[in-house]
């Protein structure tokens, strides 16, 4: 395969690497917190 399709050009991300990393870490932190809460709720549900 030597040819690629012509596609719409994707605009460059205007954010700095630090902003992207901070945004990703926030989402990761929230996901982990939600996971801890879920495991706690599962434990309660299984005891009931």
> Among 24, 32, 33, 36, which residue interacts with other proteins (rule: CB under 8 A)?
24
> Using the rule CB under 8 A, is 3 a contact of other proteins?
yes
Rounded to whole angstroms, the Cα distance separating 16 from 13 reads 8
Distances from the Cα of 44 to the Cα of 30, 33, 39, 41, 48, angstroms = 21, 17, 9, 5, 6
- Residues in contact with other proteins, total (CB under 8 A)? 24
- Applying CB under 8 A, the residues found at the interface with other proteins are 1-8, 10, 13, 17, 20-21, 23-24, 27-28, 38, 41-42, 44-46, 48
């Amino acid at each position: 395969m030597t040819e690629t399709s012509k596609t719409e050009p994707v605009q460059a991300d205007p954010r700095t690497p630090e902003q992207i990393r901070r945004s990703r870490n926030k989402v990761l932190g929230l996901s982990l917190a939600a996971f801890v809460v879920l495991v706690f709720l599962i434990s309660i549900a299984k005891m009931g």
